[in-house]
Amino acid sequence: MNKKVLSSLLVLSVLSVGVAQGAMNEADKRYVDRLAKGGPETIRDVAQSLFESGSTNTEVLDVAAEVLLQKYPRAALDRNSADAAAWLCRALGGSGNNRYKAAIDEVSDKADHRKLRGHCEKASKALPKGAAESYKAGTVDLEKLRNSEASASTKAAPAKAAAAAKPAAQGGARTVDFSIIREGMSSEEVSDLLGPPTATTQRMTGKQFRPFNYGARDLQRLYFLYKGVGRIEFSLKSAYEGVYRVITITPDAAESGYP
């Protein structure tokens, strides 16, 4: 291979890395901010959303890996911390990127919490075999993220999104960006990112009446209707959990905004 080809490939490689590093949307930035600054319950909720939405963004997942490595020793002292660490393992394992296998394996080998070790062992097995550059503790500076001015702007993102979601001056369609919404996001996340819907409606499903639906799954559906934009359908993931998560995103310029 001649030098010109090698040089071209190197440039393309650098450009592709730059694109990947700058590819976070408002939802991803908000995940990073909440992971860096949040307590166990916030971290658990973010990790669950990353798992449910199948996130593969390495910028976000690197932060999740760092939080996992720093926080998992508390699992034996605090149930919420154990839940948060377990969901972080599941999110990293669900990414399909064995960059995070070493971090997950450290938790499964060293954690004092038995159930946490079990979740992490299962997450590790979900990752593909093969060599990869492993994530190393300290690669992400969480303290810097916590004190970053950039992260402060992320906190304002929901407010900006809500302002953008207001009706146009002439009564036209609302400016709502469905492209940042992913399956698996919670209804609270969607509301924060897009602003309140024009209207909501919900219904029961036939699973309400199934005697062997032990997980109490998908008992209800919730709909966010955005006039002139479309609608988003959520399923009650589990009646025990009480969280509605996105299952269908339907852009529709003819959406009336009425149930």
Distance CA 16, CA 30 (A): 23
pLDDT in tens, 229-246: 999 999 988 777 788 999
pLDDT at 162: 46
- Whether 173 shows a pLDDT value over 70: the answer reads no
Q: Which among 47, 21, 52 has a CA at the least distance from the CA of 34?
A: 47
| Paired tokens of 126 | 């979900």
- Mean pLDDT calculated for residue range 31-40: 94
- Whether 163 shows a pLDDT value over 90: the answer reads no
**pLDDT band of 149, cuts 50, 70, 90:** low
| Paired tokens of 201 | 């409606």
- State the average pLDDT for the chain: 82
Name the least confident of 134-143, 153-162, 191-200. Answer: 153-162
- Whether 148 shows a pLDDT value over 70: the answer reads yes
Distance CA 248, CA 160 (A): 24
> 3-class DSSP state for residue 221?
strand
**pTM over 0.85, yes/no:** no
| Paired tokens of 1 | 């291979």
What phi and psi values does residue 131 have, to the nearest 5 degrees?
A: -80, 145
> 3-class DSSP state for residue 21?
helix
pLDDT at 240: 72
| Separation in Å, CA 135 to CA 63, 95, 104 | 10, 14, 10
Q: Which residue has the higher pLDDT, 98 or 239?
A: 98
pLDDT at 233: 96
**How many C-beta atoms surround the C-beta of residue 208 within 10 A?**
12
- Whether 16 shows a pLDDT value over 50: the answer reads no
pLDDT in tens, 131-143: 678 999 999 999 9
**pLDDT band of 198, cuts 50, 70, 90:** very high
DSSP one-letter string for 189-220: HHHHHH---SEEEEEE-GGGG-TT-TT--S-E
pLDDT in tens, 18-30: 334 447 899 999 9
Distance CA 246, CA 188 (A): 10
H or E element in which residue 20 lies: helix 3-21
